[in-house]
């Protein structure tokens, strides 16, 4: 087969006119089978069939999206025929009903046969020609119909299944996947010729006008699905921005092409953008998997299958050797495999998220149990401390007061000066006992919190604790008492109290800063120091110290009220305890 380029000729040419015109062309051998035609050019092909046949034969061109293809055949005895097919030819005018372009060569044509083919495509084109007996061609058409039925049936099942999941789970990734798969299906319908055969038989040029746009939509929905499914924005913001550049470029170029503007550079830009998108499809899932996103494993397989099938499609066109016939079948297989694997990837994501949820629930249950045990232990420790204070301090003071009163009763008429001295000592013991009772009562319940409010209680606590330890302190506190209930206010007070105790015991700090701000609908509290940054946790502190309300139990108190807790430690620079508690 040979090929030649020529300027545009009249649409209607007789066999004699066509062969006369072809004599003056510059023919190439081997022919060019792919490329881009200028708007004022056509490509011509000619071949000679030497073998004889006792049955009708079919000249098939398995590239349905060629614009207009004319075929002229002339035998050794002067008999001739002419037929026309293509995107811009109504399907009803085709003599051979098929999704590809087929022309019947009668058996009574005597070899050698001269075949002349004119391709008028006005843009990118792919070309190859096969001659086979009618029976063999019909058998292949039956196989192609069976494959297409299985293909479309499987894709539609995947579409409706995932659309149902998108509706039920309210997951955007499923909806984007459905749109992506639907646009790929529409693109394949155009490229295979089934759209021309079954959906718009009398509308001409739909593929030429909208195929690039549909391909751009599949690029946009595919990249959007990939970004949402793998959370690419968090994974790599530069890659996420690159994807949007690809999407905007694809849609912009396709819109320009669909409006009829076809400069020579436009198709090259479209194909280059497609290449970049394929690289993005293939690289991002690998990167996600390497960074620990386990459910990207099926996405790696899925998003490699279709790009590889696309590369193989263009590779076989460039070589002129077809592993599958028609050549777009290999893309259909890649698309079907991708659809199945992406569905498995979405299912795998659900399963992994369920496992993660169970793990988190188990950890939460363990945390609640540990917090409950720690709280009970803390209560027992507090009771032990209160009992010790009652026995060693208040009990001791009361015992001295008792003995003093007994001595007074036994002295009788002794000197008044001695009585006055004893009474002063007894008064001092009473004052000590009263102070111990007040301190113990305040530890059991901060009455200042009820009388003055949370803000004043925090300032009083900070002033007493910091001044006693020689710390510089500052407080920036919003008035939030009217937004918190008693339990919430008490929890904030206790957590700040425990944080201050940890600072005094462990941090060797010189300055403490406390802030409490209304960040509706929550109160956000921060306790900062400039100490060593080595406040111990339950795992690192001694067993005796761990019995108290440490870091873990502070966190437990906050999380019981649906809050969040952060411990930020910077060795040598200090520690920040930061938490938020929702109100309302």
SS (H, E, C) 90-159: CHHHCCCCCCCEEEEECCCCCCCEEEEEEEECCCEEECCCEEEEHHHHHHHHHHHHHHHHHHHHHHHHHH
Give residue-wise pLDDT tens across range 343-383: 888 888 888 878 888 888 888 777 777 766 666 666 666 66
pLDDT at 326: 84
CB atoms inside a 10 Å sphere around CB 113? 23
Question: What φ, ψ does residue 548 adopt, rounded to 5°?
Answer: -80, -175
> Span 156-178, mean pLDDT?
87
pLDDT at 536: 55
Confirm or reject CATH 3.30.565.10 for domain 447-584, answering yes or no. Answer: yes
> Span 193-218, mean pLDDT?
88
Give residue-wise pLDDT tens across range 516-549: 999 888 999 999 988 876 655 555 545 444 444 4
Angstrom distances, CA of residue 210 to CA of 255, 291, 531: 9, 39, 68
- Which of the residue ranges 122-136, 209-223, 388-402 would you say has the lowest mean pLDDT? 388-402
pLDDT at 546: 41
Domain spans of the chain, in order of start:
2-134, 137-361, 447-584
The third-level CATH classification (topology) of the domain covering 2-134 is Immunoglobulin-like (2.60.40)
When mean pLDDT is compared over 112-121, 163-172, 201-210, the highest value belongs to: 112-121
> Span 61-80, mean pLDDT?
91
pLDDT at 434: 67
pLDDT at 97: 85
* 3-state SS string for 146-163: HHHHHHHHHHHHHHHHHH
Cα Rg of the chain, angstroms: 43
Give which of 86, 88, 110 is closest to 96, Cα–Cα. Answer: 86
DSSP state, residue 481 = G
Q: Over pLDDT 70: what percentage of the chain?
A: 84
pLDDT: which is higher, 370 or 491? 491
Considering the chain, what is the average pLDDT of its residues? 83
Give residue-wise pLDDT tens across range 229-261: 889 998 999 999 999 999 999 999 999 988 888
pLDDT at 533: 66
Q: Which residues contact 375 (CB under 8 A, 6 or more apart)?
A: 553, 556
Residue with tokens 């409950």: 372
With 60 as the cut, is the pLDDT of residue 415 above it? Answer: no
With 50 as the cut, is the pLDDT of residue 568 above it? Answer: yes
pLDDT band at 219 (very low <50, low <70, confident <90, very high): very high
pLDDT at 146: 92
* 3-state SS string for 361-412: HHHHHHHHHHHHHHHHHHHHHHHHHHHHHHHHHHHHHHHHHHHHHHHHHHHC
- Contact criterion met (CB below 8 Å) for 583 and 489: no
pTM of the model as a whole: 0.62
> Span 486-503, mean pLDDT?
87
- Contact criterion met (CB below 8 Å) for 443 and 388: no
Task: List alpha helices for 236-392, DSSP H.
Answer: 237-258, 264-290, 296-319, 329-389
Give which of 216, 292, 270 is closest to 247, Cα–Cα. Answer: 216
pLDDT at 535: 54
pLDDT at 302: 83
- Contact criterion met (CB below 8 Å) for 449 and 490: yes
CA distance 131 to 137: 9
- Contact criterion met (CB below 8 Å) for 64 and 39: no
> Span 125-131, mean pLDDT?
85
pLDDT band at 584 (very low <50, low <70, confident <90, very high): low
What DSSP letter does each residue of 57-73 carry, written as one string?
Answer: EEEEE--TT-SEEEEEE
CA distance 73 to 215: 36
The third-level CATH classification (topology) of the domain covering 137-361 is Rhopdopsin 7-helix transmembrane proteins (1.20.1070)
Residues facing 57 on adjacent strands? 105, 133
Three-state secondary structure call for residue 577: strand
pLDDT band at 445 (very low <50, low <70, confident <90, very high): low
> Span 409-436, mean pLDDT?
65
pLDDT at 232: 92
pLDDT at 500: 87
pLDDT band at 218 (very low <50, low <70, confident <90, very high): very high
Angstrom distances, CA of residue 266 to CA of 116, 138, 184, 218, 260: 30, 39, 22, 19, 11
Pairing of strands 472-477, 511-518: parallel
CA distance 317 to 328: 10
pLDDT at 85: 93
- Give helix then strand counts, H and E, for the chain: 17, 15
């Amino acid at each position: 087969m040979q090929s030649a380029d020529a300027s545009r000729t009249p649409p209607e040419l007789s066999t004699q006119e066509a062969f006369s015109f072809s004599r003056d062309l510059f023919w190439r051998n081997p022919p060019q089978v792919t490329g881009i035609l200028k708007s004022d050019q056509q490509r011509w092909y000619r071949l000679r069939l030497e073998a004889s046949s006792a049955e009708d034969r079919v000249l098939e061109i398995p590239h349905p999206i060629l614009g207009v293809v004319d075929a002229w055949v002339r035998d050794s005895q002067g008999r001739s025929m002419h037929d026309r097919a293509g995107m811009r030819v109504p399907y009803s005018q085709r003599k051979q009903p098929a999704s590809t372009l087929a022309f019947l060569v009668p058996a009574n044509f005597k070899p050698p046969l001269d075949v002349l083919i004119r391709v008028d495509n006005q843009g990118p084109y792919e070309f190859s020609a096969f001659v086979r007996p009618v029976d063999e061609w019909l058998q292949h058409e039956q196989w192609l119909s069976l494959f297409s039925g299985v293909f479309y049936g499987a894709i539609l099942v995947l579409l409706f299944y995932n659309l149902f999941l998108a509706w039920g789970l309210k997951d955007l990734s499923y909806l984007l996947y459905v749109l992506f798969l639907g646009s790929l299906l529409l693109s394949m319908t155009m490229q295979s010729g089934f759209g021309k055969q079954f959906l718009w038989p009398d509308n001409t040029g739909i593929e030429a006008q909208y195929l690039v746009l549909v391909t751009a939509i599949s690029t946009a929905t595919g990249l959007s699905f990939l970004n949402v499914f793998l959370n690419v924005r968090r994974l790599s913001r530069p890659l996420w921005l690159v994807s949007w550049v690809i999407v905007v470029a694809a849609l912009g170029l396709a819109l320009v092409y669909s409006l009829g503007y076809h400069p020579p550079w436009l198709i090259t830009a479209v194909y280059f953008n497609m290449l970049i998108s394929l690289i993005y499809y293939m690289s991002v899932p690998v990167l996600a998997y390497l960074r620990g996103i386990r459910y990207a494993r099926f996405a790696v397989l899925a998003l490699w299958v279709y790009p590889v099938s696309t590369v193989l499609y263009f590779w076989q066109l460039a070589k002129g050797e077809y592993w599958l016939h028609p050549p777009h079948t290999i893309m259909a297989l890649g698309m079907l495999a991708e659809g199945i694997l992406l569905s498995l990837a979405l299912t795998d994501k659900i399963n992994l998220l369920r496992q993660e949820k169970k793990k988190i629930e188990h950890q939460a249950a363990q945390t609640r149990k540990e917090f409950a045990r720690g709280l009970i232990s803390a209560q027992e420790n507090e009771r032990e401390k209160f009992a010790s204070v009652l026995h060693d301090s208040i009990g001791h003071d009361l015992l001295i007061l008792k003995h003093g009163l007994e001595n007074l009763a036994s002295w009788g008429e002794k000197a008044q000066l001695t009585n006055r001295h004893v009474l002063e000592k007894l008064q001092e013991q009473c004052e000590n006992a009263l102070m111990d009772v007040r301190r113990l009562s305040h530890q059991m319940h901060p009455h200042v919190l009820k009388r003055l409010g949370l803000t004043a209680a925090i300032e009083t606590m900070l002033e007493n604790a910091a001044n006693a330890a020689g710390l510089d302190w500052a407080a920036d506190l919003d008035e939030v008492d009217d937004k918190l209930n008693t339990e919430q206010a008490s929890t904030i007070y206790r957590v700040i109290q425990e944080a201050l105790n940890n600072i005094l015991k462990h941090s060797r700090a010189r300055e403490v800063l406390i802030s409490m701000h209304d960040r509706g609908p929550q109160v956000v509290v921060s306790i900062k120091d400039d100490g060593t940054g080595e406040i111990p946790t339950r795992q690192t502190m001694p067993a005796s110290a761990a019995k108290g309300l440490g870091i873990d139990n502070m966190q437990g108190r906050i999380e019981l009220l649906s809050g969040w807790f952060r411990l930020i430690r910077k060795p040598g620079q200090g520690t920040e305890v930061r938490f938020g508690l929702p109100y309302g």
